[in-house]
Structure 1
Amino acid sequence: MAATAGRGSYAKSAGVRRRILEVCADAFGETGFHGASTKDIAQRAGISHTGLRHHFPRKEDLLAAVLDLRDERGTAFLRSADAVDPDAFPVEALRGMLDLVVDHELQPGLMQLHCVLSAEATAADHPAHAYYAERHRQLRAFYARAYTALARGGQLRSAVDPETLAVMTVSLVKGIQEQWLFDRETVRIEYALRMFLASVVPELGDESGR
């Protein structure tokens, strides 16, 4: 009986933590890290401020947990050994990354969260500065590896070097996402990105009309 009670208590605690992080993600997406207060987050979660501090002693702890929770698939894709190797299978790797970007379109709250926080985090003293610096580095490295492999195989149609092309691609994705948040009726994230990729990787051309 004691073991059953313990499991129930753990599940309840995990549920509270999850609810806190969900409302926290909304708060950070609306007003940024600095604009959201822990008292407001506690109120949204339906718990006391003391209860919030029990699970997350510092506001920075909340931020780290929210970023981990809201970008689980992206982090796994970039870090997992099971992800398609951009060196060996560059076209498939680009398709996989495109699927990930499209998945974000189905989660506008996630996209807004990253747009707001990444803009704030350009300040060197922001608690998410290191997170986004590493996130952008990983993305640039991923695209650069894919483009380099394509260039070696004669599949890349661009006069731009792979590293610079990677910077341009990451910037394009971020810019399209921000435009979509302002105009969801006109901006088509998947189509725009597919058209760009098809312009530099002819093999992806047959998918550009999706």
Structure 2
Amino acid sequence: MRAALEVFSEHGERGSSLKEIADRVGMSQAGVLHYFDSREDLLLAVLAERDALDTEAAADVMSPGEAVARTVGHNARQPGLVDLFVTLSAAASDPAHPAHAFFKRRYTDLSTRIQEGLEQGRQNDQIRQDVDPKLMARLLLAVSDGIQLQWLLDPSVDMTALVEAFNRMCAVPVGESNNPSPTGEDN
């Protein structure tokens, strides 16, 4: 799996070959495919592994927004995986595509985790009360995915800065509070 991640990271979906992956691990192409039902299954396994590594790397981060900012920063060093993700996620919008269920489940799971983190942030008076965390979670994912597509088209786009700007829009402004005092004055 690590060899496949490296190959796709370097070359993207269209520039990667099963032969190169097999060569890196000292196997035949048939040997690699023994572990996967198809090339699409291999691609999905690569994306699932990438997600697992991103989740592990962000485990020490306090907020979901910071985790997403860290992830897009990391992704900027792996253009091939960003290309694979964007290409496969777009194709998976077709319900008949083999990756459709994977992406549907991925977005449901990520949205739920992000929403839970945002709700915690609201309880800690860090996240705005006037926007539903469920909406903020979906918007954060949309910002992240849209920025990655824009970055593939123009690598000068600063993905991390844009996600961080979105995070600031979700945060309670410094010096303000979500919970006004009973007298109507800010705490």
Letter in 2 for 1:197: N
Instruction: Indicate if the aligned counterparts of 1:102 and 1:189 stay in contact, CA closer than 8 A.
Output: yes
1:188 is aligned to 2:172: no
The question of whether the paired residues in 2 share the 8 Å contact of 1:176 and 1:189 is answered with yes
One-letter amino acid of the structure 1 residue matched with residue 73 of structure 2: V
What's the Cα RMSD here?
3.3
- Where does residue 14 of structure 2 map in the other structure? 30
Q: 1: distance between equivalents of 2:110 and 2:3?
A: 29
Q: 1:43 to 1:106 in 2, by over 3 A?
A: closer
Seen in structure 2, the aligned counterparts of structure 1 residues 179 and 109 have a Cα distance that, compared at 3 Å, is: same
Cα 1:54–1:175, aligned 2, differ >3 Å: closer, same or farther?
Answer: same
Q: Which residue of 2 aligns with 1:12?
A: none
For normalisation by structure 2, the TM-score amounts to 0.72
Q: Helix, strand or coil: the match of 2:149?
A: helix
Question: Which ranges in structure 1 are unaligned for 5 or more consecutive residues?
Answer: 1-16, 205-210
1:53 corresponds to which of 27, 30, 33:
30
1: CA distance, partners of 2:101 / 2:42: 16
**One-letter amino acid matched to 2:54:** G
Displacement of 1:65 in angstroms is: 3.3
Cα distance in 2, alignment partners of residues 21 and 97 from structure 1: 20
Structure with bigger helix share is 1
Greater RCO, CA 8 A, separation 6+: 2
How does the TM-score come out when normalised to structure 1? Answer: 0.65
Say how many residue pairs are matched.
Answer: 170
Kindly indicate whether residue 140 of structure 2 is the aligned counterpart of residue 169 of structure 1. Answer: yes
2:122 is equivalent to residue 154 of structure 1? no
One-letter identity of the residue aligned with 1:73: L
Q: Is the 8 A contact 1:157 1:200 kept in 2?
A: yes
Write the mapping of 1:119-158 to structure 2, written as runs, cut at 5 A.
119-157=90-128
- Structure 2 unaligned runs (5+)? 175-187
Asked if residue 109 in structure 1 is aligned to residue 80 in structure 2, the reply is yes
Task: Find 1:197's aligned residue among 167, 170, 180.
Answer: 167
Runs of 4+ in structure 1 displaced over 4 angstroms? Answer: 17-28, 43-47
- 2:42 maps to amino acid: L
Return the alpha-carbon distance in structure 1 between the equivalents of residues 4 and 127 of structure 2: 46
Using the aligned pairs only, state the percent identity. Answer: 28
